[in-house]
Structure 1
């Protein structure tokens, strides 16, 4: 009987010891730290969490309003999956400055990658040796400075064809869709770059579309009797093109560094209407951002649309003002410790085709403004937006009729 009591006591002691040891291990290794403070979170629903807040057609705008109400860094939950939403230029700066390696991998591969290349594609590959090797190959052979120089003649030939096509339609007084025309130009030159995101290529036509859209929106404020008068920004752009390029040849890529206002127009279009309004990252380890704790294995959504309209860093953020990029805004960005301009993402997973995009957009817009006037069928352009795949576009693509400039007609070399 005494032996049985001793055995029971020993078992009880062992059980108590194991419980104490487990509690100690949890306290030391698994318990949340005292400064574990998640970002603020809107009211969630049982089971689905914040899913109802992400069902908007224009999710980037919905999330922008949500951030304006609750804060520029938010904690959301979709079922059991945690999400941290970033909508601030200063928080974006902190993420990419201090945590870029940690957030350079992705969670589940996006749907468009899975459809075209599967989970082993370059876009969805985790950050590591394979990703770095493939990015190096891509930049060296297709998108780097030297590679772009080697392929410059191909793009120049396509740009001439682009102009000739518009000129023929101008003679026939045909209505064209700007998006489709520029998309054809970029696709012809870029069809072989299958591992770069196709919405990046698609966005080139969108941005040209956007510029002409702003151009027409400016004419709506004028007197009806001066309906064909150019708005100030287009007049300034055409004057720069005529001054630098002249009227006897088309714009070339090598002209772009000498066309600061054209570059400003492109950047302003991308700021207001980024090709991918929201991009996603994934935290491998827990980290602190904006004074809050971001747990490991958390999806980080950066709302580029909201960041580039952050009123703390952009004066009149919803206005189309290319002049803002003629100032020392880059120096101000570094001084303010903010990352306020991110149309192509940032960091190790930023779009490797960014330089090529600026070339295409700049030369395409240059040709359209340099060689043509534009007549719009609608008195007022429908300014509604739509997200196609992951790209921001116009609900009703802009259609207009090119009119070849009769003064100092262009003579192609």
Structure 2
């Protein structure tokens, strides 16, 4: 019999590995003992550090907030052999995102992104450097420019109105059959945002799909997003990479990545076919209304400058970044916005009164109406303050730096807890209350969420802040205004909405958002609204 099959021999090997790694870690960290380091939170374990305290069931932002109540706004932890800097104050965030922006412009590398994200060709997860800067420039100036977002407006409007029409038809169908009129809005928002982002990225590809194919690609996107939040042993303790093979995580990553890649490649092949049939490339001054077409004009040039990735990989990875980055954040934001309004009926009534005043009940909401819907915009800001879609922004120090006078070694993981910062009683009056009015007057009237005001960081800050902020804002505000204009909402039994969050990278509500819908407008308006393209 092979001795390695004996459980006590396996346990001895594992214990020996842990002791050796811990001793090595202690030797390395001892070299920094004389440096001015921030104090470390208590309770860490040998080798694994504070990992067990950050692995659930409580969401990460809650665990870090509880530690901040005990250890202060800035402290360090150990995530495996790595040191981690936890920031829970706007002053600390400013030092990281402004003073040390370049130093903290690297993303931690995980096995999930390596296997599913084309070996870090997804620029949202690639290291800071020339490739990242080029792709960021392309995304800002071509894919997510004001001109591009404006061009996407009619499509977004049409898709939203098509959803309202479908919900209205479903309501009357259920009423006619005496079925319950309860719907899961979180799922509806998820399907809407997936459809919007697929259309934005790849054009009208779903028009060629039947219902089964459409559900297949929606499931592929959902699974990809879910697997991105999976961390392996080697992500935390690289020396224990051999344990990953026992869990099957890498194989699951490869399978998930392959499924989404097949979908992206099919879309890309179709785009190339259409371009070839047209007999010419798009002119530089022309701007296609989907990202994949836009990338066909630039991907070859990028691949020549950075030959580590071919043009197809760059195109697919960029489209993948945009699609994945937009789906979860918009779904989460819309779900929390409706949840907060259902628990604060006075605010919901005020939104609807504003809509009736500026839009009326003889037509549907248009994007041009949004500039007049200042309270609706304030509701969105207050939602992002209380329930940011990315409550903890994680980065890594690419070089040594100094934060609040303390030495931060290269390789330190950075955890900026926006959820805690945005509930700081030193900054926000009655920080736990849902009060959109705070953004209508005084110091907060002109504040935005683009990462330039360090008290409000729902999308991160610095040069690696989310590049799709304005697309997400314009879309979610329009969806929120439209659904509140066209439907009365209430919980099934009049009870308060459960506001418990779930563990994961995004701040997803733990339970479905089930609501009862009742149309507010004339049936004719639902039929005559914009048609989906």
Alpha-carbon distance in structure 2 between the residues aligned to 1:303 and 1:110: 24
Aligned to 1:228: none
- Structure 1 residue 392 displacement after superposition: 1.1
Counting only pairs closer than 5 Å after superposition, residues 275-314 of structure 1 correspond to structure 2 as 275-314=389-428
Residues 282 and 299, structure 1, Cα contact 8 Å, conserved in 2: yes
Cα contact 1:170–1:401 (8 A) shared by 2: no
Distance 1:153 1:380 in 2: 35
Q: Which residue of 2 aligns with 1:148?
A: 149
Structure with higher helix content: 2
- Count of aligned positions: 368
2:477, 2:375 → 1: CA distance?
Answer: 10
1:295-320, Cα deviation, whole Å (9 max, x unpaired):
12211111111111122111121111
**1:384 corresponds to which residue?**
500
1: CA distance, partners of 2:514 / 2:32: 57
1:359 aligns with 2:360: no
Partner of 2:169: 168
Match of 1:274 among 385, 388, 393: 388
Residue 186 of structure 1: how far off its partner (Å): 2.0
Q: Closer, same or farther in 2 for the Cα pair 1:345/1:93, shift >3 Å?
A: same
Compared CA separation, residues 113 and 217, structure 1 to 2 (3 A)? farther
In structure 2, the residue matched to 1:76 is 77
Structure 2 CA distance for aligned equivalents of residues 123 and 93 of structure 1: 21
TM-score, normalised by the number of residues in structure 2: 0.65
1:405 aligns with 2:520: yes
- Higher alpha-carbon Rg: 1
* CA deviation after TM superposition for structure 1 residue 90, in Å: 1.3
Q: What is the CA distance between 1:141 and its match in structure 2?
A: 3.0
Which structure 2 residues correspond to residues 240-259 of structure 1 after superposition, within 5 A? Answer: 240-259=354-373
Alignment RMSD: 2.5
Unaligned runs of 5+ in 2: 1-29, 175-180, 202-318
Aligned-pair distance for 1:404? 0.5
Change (3 A) 1:146 1:406: closer
Aligned-residue offset at 1:373? 0.5
Question: Which residue pairs with 1:5 in the alignment?
Answer: none
Question: Mean alpha-carbon deviation: is it higher for 41-50 or for 76-85?
Answer: 41-50
Offset at residue 407 of structure 1 (A):
7.3
- 1:206–1:394 Cα contact (<8 Å) kept: yes
Deviations, residues 143-189 of structure 1 (Å, cap 9, x unaligned) = 11011112212112112202111211222343221122222222222
Instruction: Say if 1:74 and 1:86, in contact at 8 Å, map to a contact too.
Output: yes
- Whether 1:183 aligns to 2:190 is yes
| Residue equivalent to 1:226 | none
Q: Is the counterpart of residue 348 in structure 1 residue 451 in structure 2? A: no
Tell me the equivalent position of 1:4.
Answer: none
For 1:162 and 1:102, the matched residues in 2 are separated by 44
Gaps of 5+ in 1: 1-29, 219-230
**TM-aligned CA deviation for residue 112 of structure 1:** 4.6
Query: In the alignment, is the contact (CA less than 8 A) between 1:83 and 1:301 conserved in 2?
Result: yes
Give the structure 2 partner of residue 41 of structure 1: 40
Structure with more strand by fraction: 1
Matches of 2:195 and 2:457, distance apart in 1? 27
DSSP-derived class of the 2:457 partner: coil
Deviations 1:34-65 (A, max 9, x none): 7x321121223323222232122212101101
Q: Deviations over 1:364-402 (max 9, x none)?
A: 1111110110132142432221034x1111111111121
Aligned pair partner of 2:331 in 196, 201, 205: 205
CA contact 1:178–1:208 (8 Å) conserved in 2: no
Answer whether contact 1:217 1:380 (CA < 8 A) is retained. yes
Determine the C-alpha separation between the residues in 1 that align with 2:419 and 2:378: 18
How far apart, in 1, do the equivalents of 2:378 and 2:140 lie?
25
- Cα distance, 1:321 vs. partner? 0.9
Partner of 1:216: 342
